[in-house]
Structure 1
């Protein structure tokens, strides 16, 4: 495949889109932001912004001349992703990075998440089908595991209330999981586009760290320079509460069951070992618990 230079991104102002857009610019790609006409999002100065209707016809015109397209439109926009893929293929885009930044297609999730997983599968199955019919069009999915620094800051239920300097340790706090920082997610995207042949038509496995709650707690106390208040909780309570909410149609079940999967028995949330991941290909760096703690504490302070 020829070198990728011109890159369009959907969702550039989002939680993942913002660092991805910045990393693409730093890496020397010619970035174009594509967004809906009615979007009120603000974007970095100096990057072209195309506002368009999200129809295949209009999107095809917007993507004309682009080498790659990246979808980071978030869960609320997944229904539009088929149109994005169809438009990219029609416009002659060489690579489409699907919005599947999560645990990947082979993850053993709880039954309650299977419908969500099926929705995501429709997207990359559609991209795969187009690739089989058009050898000039390719796709990549990026498996990141837990978006660790972003998630810890946003969701205290993950066990760390950074502002209050308090922690909730589930069970014995030793279950490990893999996570990717916002910096790592952005670098994974850059790595895919820098190595298009090796990353074509598959999900790559990204990771910044493999860690457990106890290691993170030690790091937060070390980096903050003070002891944290520590409480204990059982993952079984999260499972019971989340399932009751799901059955009753009550909001909040998704987060409770996600945290159960993360810290519950069995260590299901390890995407890959460092050796079995694509971190070297993607030129990602391994990060330490102290790195994670420092990033979270700095983001809260800012």
Structure 2
């Protein structure tokens, strides 16, 4: 498979899209941003931006001449991804990175997430179909596990309030999970596109670390040089609260259930892959320490 040079990206200003765009530019790819005409998003200087309606005809024209497409659109736009895939194949694009960043195939999601999963599956199945009928068109989906530095900084429910320097340890605090940092997510996309033959038509498994809450708490305390206030909770309580919110149609039910899945005692539900069984080596993702994760999560908070 010939080298990929020109890459179009959807969702370039998003939480994952921004670091992916930065990583692609740094790696030397010719990046083009695709967005809707009415979008108010801002983008880095020097990167071409095509504003177009998301119809098959207009997207095909916008994607003509691109070698690859990276889709990192937000949840509201997931249902348009199948159209993007059709347009990419029609335009002669050779690789489409499907917006399926998460835990990958076979993950034991709670049934409350079935509807969301079904929407994402539509695009994945469309990419598979087109790759079978057109050998020049290929796809990749990147499984990242927990986006760890971003999630720790943004969601105190995950157990760490980086502003208050306090922690909630669920159960024994020993349940391990894997995560990929924002830098690792950017590198995972670069890795896929620099190894197109090895990553064609499959899920790749990314990871930056395998860790538990107790290890993270120790790391946060070492990085800040002070003892954090620690409380204890039960992952099972999050399961109950999340399901109650879901039944009642309340917001943020998903966060409760996601954190439950992360820390459900004795299940190892959220260990995506061991270092040896992952694709981190192929993708050239650096394995990080708890202290490095803590520093990234703290960001500008650390004095």
The interval holding the TM-score normalised by the smaller chain is over 0.9
Residue in 2 that maps onto 1:286: 287
- Please list every run of 5 or more consecutive structure 2 residues that lacks an aligned counterpart in the other structure: none
The 5 A counterparts of 1:107-146 are 107-146=107-146
Task: Give the conservation status (yes or no) of the 8 Å contact 1:153–1:300.
Answer: no
TM-score when normalising by structure 2 = 0.98
Cα gap change, 1:300 to 1:48, in 2 (>3 Å): farther
Task: Give the conservation status (yes or no) of the 8 Å contact 2:224–2:302.
Answer: no
- Please list every run of 5 or more consecutive structure 1 residues that lacks an aligned counterpart in the other structure: none
Residue in 2 that maps onto 1:186: 186
Q: How far 1:300 moved relative to its partner?
A: 4.3
Cα gap change, 1:45 to 1:301, in 2 (>3 Å): farther
The 5 A counterparts of 1:1-302 are 1-265=1-265, 266-300=267-301
TM-score when normalising by structure 1 = 0.98
**SS of 2:51 mapped into structure 1:** strand
**SS of 1:131 mapped into structure 2:** helix
Q: Deviations over 1:233-275 (max 9, x none)?
A: 0111111111111111111210000000000121100000001
Task: Give the conservation status (yes or no) of the 8 Å contact 1:105–1:121.
Answer: no
Cα gap change, 1:20 to 1:30, in 2 (>3 Å): same
**SS of 2:282 mapped into structure 1:** coil
Q: Deviations over 1:107-126 (max 9, x none)?
A: 11111112211211111111
Distance 1:263 1:278 in 2: 24
Distance 2:80 2:296 in 1: 33
Q: How far 1:214 moved relative to its partner?
A: 0.4
**SS of 1:98 mapped into structure 2:** strand
Q: How far 1:76 moved relative to its partner?
A: 1.4
Task: Give the conservation status (yes or no) of the 8 Å contact 2:149–2:182.
Answer: yes
Aligned CA RMSD, in angstroms, stands at 1.0
Task: Give the conservation status (yes or no) of the 8 Å contact 1:184–1:208.
Answer: yes
Q: How far 1:139 moved relative to its partner?
A: 0.3
Task: Give the conservation status (yes or no) of the 8 Å contact 1:89–1:137.
Answer: yes
Q: How far 1:301 moved relative to its partner?
A: 5.7
**Runs of 4+ more than 2 Å apart:** 299-302
